[in-house]
Amino acid sequence: MIADRYATALFELADSSGSLDQVAGDLKTLQAMLRESADLRRLVDSPVLSREQQGAAIAAIAKAAGFSELTSKFLGLAAKNRRLFTLYGVIASYLGRLAARRGEKSATVASAVSLTPAQQDALTTALKAAFGGNVAVEVKVDPSLLGGLVVQVGSRMVDSSLKTKLQHLKLAMKGVG
């Protein structure tokens, strides 16, 4: 998989230069930017834009965001090689490698509304207690859940969303009639 190869190369370069955390921070910022900006997603996914256009745009974004030199060069190389579309996988793979190196488990939490910092801290504490050790938590907002949370740690998933509960109720009611 192309994204894994790029993530491995970036991870090894960051490790050898002692900038694993800095690059991880840059990638988390980029991940949030991709999630929030439809224009940035179009830039990354567009086959219509030339290498030069993508390269110039991603360089400007990296500079404005204050990314490290390594991250900026990596993004430039990905644009030059027409591989910006792999960024989603590269980010996930890099952060996964970093979590594995640290002995962390990664958890993905989806909620209907944004969680407050206090709620995120309480959730992280509860997950650490439940799974033992460090847990890196990524929080996403999914308004379609209506309420509650969907928590996934590895292959285990706990779905306490209102959407799922309503679906179960709907199925139960169909069985009665």
pLDDT, residue 43, reads 92
Cα–Cα distance, 152 to 128 (Å, whole number): 13
pLDDT, residue 107, reads 85
Taking CA atoms, 112 is separated from 140, 150, 162, in Å, by 9, 9, 9
In a structure prediction context, what are the per-residue pLDDT tens digits for the chain, which is 177 residues long? 889 999 999 999 999 999 999 999 999 999 999 988 999 999 999 888 898 999 999 999 999 999 999 999 999 999 999 999 999 999 999 988 998 888 888 888 999 888 898 998 998 898 888 887 788 888 888 888 888 899 998 778 888 888 888 888 888 888 765
Architecture of domain 1-99: Orthogonal Bundle (1.10)
Cα–Cα distance, 157 to 127 (Å, whole number): 12
- Range(s) of the chain covered by CATH 1.10.520.20: 1-99
